[in-house]
Chain A
Amino acid sequence: MAKVLFINPVVREEDVPRHVPYGIALLAAIAIEKGHLVQVFDQNAWRTGEEVLRQVLAADRWDMVGLGGITTTYGSVKRIVRVAREVCPESAIVLGGGILTSLPYEMMTWLPEVDVGVVGEAFVTFPEMLSMIDEGRRDWHTVLGTISRGEGGRLIMAGQRPLLHDLDSLPFPAWDLFPLEEVYFPNSEVLYSEEGMLASRRLDINASYGCSLICRFCYHLGIAGDMRYETDAEGRTQVHFDEPGTYTRHIRYHSPEYVVRLARHAHDRYGVNFIGFLDENLMTMDQSSGRTWLKEICRLWHEYGLAPKYEYDDKGEVKGWTGVHWSGTSHATLCTKEILKVMREAGCSHLVYGYESFAPHVMKRIGKGATPKTNIRSFFWTLEAGIRPVPNQIIGFPNEDFDSIRQNVKAWEELGIVVKPHFATPYPGSEWYAVYRDSILEQYGGDLEAFVFELGDASKISATISHNFNAVELVGLRDMMLNFDYRHIDEYEKIWRRNHRIPDGQPSTLYRDADDTAPAAAAE
């Protein structure tokens, strides 16, 4: 049986570790189920230095050292694989997740210590690789969904791995291999709602994979049917994601029974009182199921005894509760009044909405299938249901202009929204990345790795894609927006118009695109 060391790289260093890495927890469970020997070192949780990492790597003779994460873990992954190669010269070093999938050739070039990359979903690919180790083989290129090194270091992209259809065949995540009591439970708080703030033992569940919508800024990295293998002019297989005019989707979701059994397991075994659903968009799954999926999850939440029961004080104020609250993601156009009410009754405390913008012309270009009108409608429906909407906003869209900035500030004032928007960021794997790659390279002096190093959670600026504003302008405008400072925004517009020779009365934009008819959703 193969001996595997999973390492969870550091992400969002500026915050405490809050989330057990769901993918690694699932892969560890799959490996154990297949009879392999597994250890997990959660470096993101422990935040220890190189000394501990070296001890971990030297603790045994590992057949495989496996890492994975999102693109923003790049700096940490680079440090880990360098040490891993030095301490474990004989081990196969494997990298998977979004970081590898989004840029397979680049990552294998920038990280020469990595032997094999897992492209896309690893649920089947990974155990096949472990079986190969058991057989004493290392011909990785025969395993679908991998990129590996051939003779002379030539990179070999194996065929595309089909997505797993029966998600319920997955075991429950191996949560007990992570420092729950030491790190994660003390960091359970989620500042999105009162119930989230008071969560003392939280775990996360991913109930579905993908999203049917085609937001230009979003990326799914092969788990949503969005990944295409195509042969380029030199005969090399290239991995493509959303590009203008080319969108594919295949969304999948667990059965309500699997989801609620897993929640009950988390409650019974770990005493969990809050579940955060990691899903990209719960509502797209509900719509795809014919509006049965969320309703059934909520019904079972009651049936399994998970729905919160409240205790009240003499004044009728809530003083405590039992049961499990939960949260997730919604969509302005796809949510319904009815389902929001049902969700609240089952313990839903808050829902994250990517409202993005309250400017009609900006929303029209995003491909989200939402408008300022549906944003506002869902906002009130959610509040009326007793759920806190979490109104995410972005500035710096390609066609962001002074009008959109003022429309957003006005909406925040009227709706009582307190927000510090993300900056529009072209993450690898998104359509924006495909469209603006040359501009990104230009902004980083041709050094794509420098861009990837700098990528964070978009609360700080990296590459900009706005046709109207540069990084300095966006940072300044965001600050004025936070302070509802219309006067300085108006003043700066005058300077901006002068600099760009755009007279008053004409739209304050340099953005030109005749195609305003982009579809909002991809066909399955």
Chain B
Amino acid sequence: MSSYLKGNFKTEKEVRPPETKKEADDLESRFERAALKRLGGSIAFVAKKKVKWTLDDKG
């Protein structure tokens, strides 16, 4: 991973990339991104992270 900070001196502390896997790389995100690009007509999808599971009337 390249340094997030670029400059003409060395900083006191290093900046480390976040531990968690980048969300944008997982299959779900890749699919939703690809579908979004072709949205329209019969191309529609559920954005899973935006689903409000706490809705009272979900049955």
Q: Which A residues lie at the B interface, using CB under 8 A?
A: 3, 32, 37-42, 46, 48-49, 51-52, 55-56, 58-61, 176-179, 181-182
Contact = CB atoms under 8 A, between A and B. Distances in A.
B4 A41 contact: yes
Main secondary structure of the interface of A (DSSP, over half): mixed
A31 to B, nearest CB: 9
Given A40-B7, A179-B6, A182-B2, A55 B12 contact: no
A244 to B, nearest CB: 42
B16 interface: yes
The 9 closest A-B pairs by CB, nearest first: A39-B7, A59-B11, A177-B6, A60-B11, A55-B15, A59-B13, A37-B9, A39-B5, A182-B2
Contacts of A32: 8
Contacts of A55: 4, 13, 15-16
Contact of B18 (A40, A49, A59, A176): A49
B13 A58 contact: yes
Contacts of B18: 48-49, 51-52
A28 B2 CA distance: 20
A32 B15 CA distance: 22
A41 B5 contact: yes
Contacts of B15: 52, 55-56, 59
Nearest to A58: B13
Contacts of B9: 3, 37-39
Contacts of B4: 41, 46, 48, 52, 55-56
Interface of B: 2, 4-9, 11-18
Given A52-B17, A52-B18, A39 B12 contact: no
B36 to A, nearest CB: 10
B12 A56 contact: no
Nearest to A49: B18
A355 B8 CA distance: 44
B6 A59 contact: no
Contacts of B7: 37-40, 177
A60 B6 contact: no
Given A32-B8, A61-B12, 19 more contacts: A3-B9, A37-B7, A37-B9, A38-B7, A38-B9, A39-B6, A39-B7, A39-B11, A40-B5, A46-B4, A48-B18, A49-B18, A55-B16, A56-B15, A59-B5, A59-B12, A59-B15, A177-B6, A181-B2
Given A48-B18, A52-B18, A176 B13 contact: no
A51 B23 CA distance: 15
Nearest to B24: A47
B13 to A, nearest CB: 5
Contacts of B17: 48, 52
Which interface residue of A41, A59, A178 has the most chain B CB atoms within 10 A?
A59
A48 B16 CA distance: 12
A49 B12 CA distance: 21
B38 to A, nearest CB: 15
Contacts of A3: 9
B17 to A, nearest CB: 7
Nearest to B36: A14
Contacts of A38: 7-9
B6 A40 contact: yes
Nearest to A61: B12
29 contacts: A3-B9, A32-B8, A37-B8, A38-B8, A38-B9, A39-B5, A39-B7, A39-B8, A39-B11, A40-B5, A40-B6, A40-B7, A46-B4, A48-B17, A49-B18, A52-B15, A55-B4, A55-B13, A55-B15, A55-B16, A58-B13, A59-B5, A59-B11, A59-B14, A59-B15, A60-B11, A60-B12, A60-B13, A178-B6
Given A48-B18, A49-B18, A52-B17, A176 B11 contact: no
Contacts of B8: 32, 37-39
A32 to B, nearest CB: 5
B42 to A, nearest CB: 18
Nearest to A14: B36
Contacts of A39: 5-9, 11
A60 B13 CA distance: 6
Nearest to A51: B18
Contacts of B13: 55, 58-60
A67 to B, nearest CB: 15
A52 B11 CA distance: 15
B41 to A, nearest CB: 14
Contacts of A51: 18
A186 B42 CA distance: 32
Contacts of A59: 5, 11-15
